[in-house]
Amino acid sequence: MKTFLRQLVLCALPLVFAAGSGYYFTTIQGSCGAMVGALFSGKCAGRQRQYLVRFQLGGAAAGTVIAATLGAVLEHRRRRAVQRTTAEQPSTPVGEPS
C-alpha cells in the first residue's frame, strides 16, 4: 500500500503543478477589457487563453521533471536499503543445508 501511495503522489505531481501554474496565471493576469480596452478585448481573450495553456504546459513540464527526479532518488534509496539488508543476513557454513 505504501508503494501504491508513493506512485500515486509521483503521478499526481505534474497535474498539481499544471493546475497551480494555471491558477497563478489567472491571479496575476487582469481582465482583457481592463488591459487593452473594449476595442481589442476580443483578440486579447484568445491570446490570454494561449498564454494560460503555455503556463499550464510549463507547470506540467516542471512537475514531470520534479516527479522523475524524486522517483529516481526514492528508487535509489530503496535499492540501497534492500542491498544493505541482504548483505547483513548471515550466510550458512559450507557443507550445511540451508
pLDDT of res. 20: 92
> Count of domains in the chain?
1
Residue 35 placed within a domain: no
Which has more confidence, 53 or 95? 53
Q: pTM for this structure?
A: 0.67
**97 is a domain residue:** no
Question: Is residue 76 a part of any domain in this protein?
Answer: yes
Asked if the structure places residue 88 within a domain, the reply is no
Q: What is the mean pLDDT of residues 34-39?
A: 74
Residue 14 to residues 7, 47, 65, 67: CA-CA distances in angstroms? 13, 24, 8, 7
The whole domain housing 64 covers: 2-26+41-81
Domain contains 58 = yes
For residue 1, count other CB atoms closer than 10 A to its CB: 5
DSSP annotation of 46 reads H
Whole-angstrom distance, CA of residue 33 vs CA of residue 9: 39
* Average pLDDT of the residues in 12-27: 90
Which triple of cell numbers denotes residue 84? 544493505
pLDDT tops 90 at residue 89: no
Domain-embedded: residue 92: no
Determine, yes or no, domain membership for 64.
yes
Asked, for residue 32, whether it belongs to a domain, the answer is no
